[in-house]
Amino acid sequence: MKSKEHDFHLVDPSPWPIAVSAAILILALGLVGMLHKQISGIFGLVLGTSAVLWMLFYWWKDVIKEAIYDRCHTAIVKHGLKCAMYLFILSEVVFFIVFFCSFFKAWLNPVFLFEAFSPTKRIEWPPEGILPPNPWSLPFMNTLVLLLSSTTITSAHHFLLEDDKKSMIKMLSMTILLGIFFVIVQAIEYHEASFSLQEAGIYASNFYMITGFHCAHVIIGIIFVSVCLFRAQKDQFTSQDHLCFEFASWYWHFVDIVWIFLFVFLYWLSVF
């Protein structure tokens, strides 16, 4: 076997990027179909979700193998991975900024109602007939849940640096449970909402778009932290080498910060 003459990692050809892209397309089409109450949409959503999770499992398995057994993640490679994670989170920030721009436009500069092609009055915010969720009920509870989860994952990182595996695993487990609780409460809020996506126009579009995508990011974060929990139980992290854990922590804190902005502006200030 020829020895490496550089510190960079030349990735082997992999089927997972294109396969995951196809699975995400199926998932997205299934979600659209489900929103239009089509039976095929539910089938596509289940199939796409299952395919994405199955393929990500094997993709991450390959990456872990490269890191642990093939020793491909040198210091230079780790630096490149960190830069890639910075850019990924930056792209996610821009993703939510676009949604918030739509929300602020609808809230602070609403469109006019027209009669005989002439503007009469601006749409109120919230629009007439819309009863927004009480910010100090379920949304406030979820705010406390996410803030608590931010402390548990930070504590898990602290225990990792202290080589306290048992406490680290306990804190990671608590983070996952808090994330699942958040998703359940969000589902209850959707179920009890007085308006639906199809009925309430611009308000519902912004509300379900922002909160829905944030909830999806929480689910992704739960999967990310679950991978870290599994690897921690396998003793694959050390106090000096735990890049996957750092990435999961960054992502989780990003999701928490987005929710703070979401709670303050979407749930609280915009309804008064």
SS (H, E, C) 120-153: EEECCCCCCCCCCCCCCCHHHHHHHHHHHHHHHH
**Which residue range is the domain that position 50 belongs to?**
16-72
For the four alpha carbons of 126, 98, 105 and 257, in that order, the dihedral sign comes to positive
**68 has a pLDDT exceeding 90:** no
Q: What percent of the chain has pLDDT over 90?
A: 61
Q: Does residue 32 sit in the same domain as residue 156? A: no
Taking only the tens place, the pLDDT of each residue in 161-182 is 999 999 999 999 999 999 999 9
Q: Does residue 63 sit in the same domain as residue 124? A: no
Q: Is residue 91 part of a domain?
A: yes
- State which of 41, 72, 103 marks the end of a domain: 72
Token readout for 80 is: 């490149």
pLDDT of residue 5: 63
Q: Residues near 201 by Cβ (< 8 Å), separated by ≥ 6? A: 127
Cα–Cα distance, 149 to 152 (Å, whole number) = 5
What's the total number of domains in the chain? 2
Q: Does residue 50 sit in the same domain as residue 134? A: no
Say how many residues make up the chain. Answer: 272
pLDDT of residue 137: 94
Q: Does residue 112 sit in the same domain as residue 218? A: yes
Cα–Cα distance, 75 to 173 (Å, whole number) = 30
Q: Is residue 8 part of a domain?
A: no
Distance linking the first and last C-alpha atoms of the chain = 69
- The DSSP letter of residue 193 is -
- Where is pLDDT greater, at 112 or 208? 208
Q: Does residue 61 sit in the same domain as residue 94? A: no
User: Picking from 61-65, 106-110, 230-234, 247-251, which range would have the lowest pLDDT averaged per residue?
Assistant: 106-110
User: Picking from 1-10, 198-207, 252-261, which range would have the lowest pLDDT averaged per residue?
Assistant: 1-10
Q: Is residue 3 part of a domain?
A: no
Residue 109 maps to which CATH number?
A: 1.20.120.80
Q: Which of 117-126, 139-148, 204-213 has the highest mean pLDDT?
A: 139-148
Token readout for 31 is: 């979600």
Q: Does residue 58 sit in the same domain as residue 98? A: no
Q: What percent of the chain has pLDDT over 70?
A: 93
Mean pLDDT, rounded, of the chain: 89
Q: Is residue 7 part of a domain?
A: no
Taking only the tens place, the pLDDT of each residue in 83-101 is 999 999 999 999 999 999 9
Long-range interactions of 158-164: CB distance < 8 A, separation 24+: 160/232, 160/237, 160/239, 160/242, 160/245, 161/239, 162/239, 163/238, 163/239
Contact indicator for 73, 67 with CB cutoff of 8 Å: yes
Q: Give the residue from 272, 263, 181 showing the smallest Cα distance to 214.
A: 263
Q: Does residue 145 sit in the same domain as residue 252? A: yes
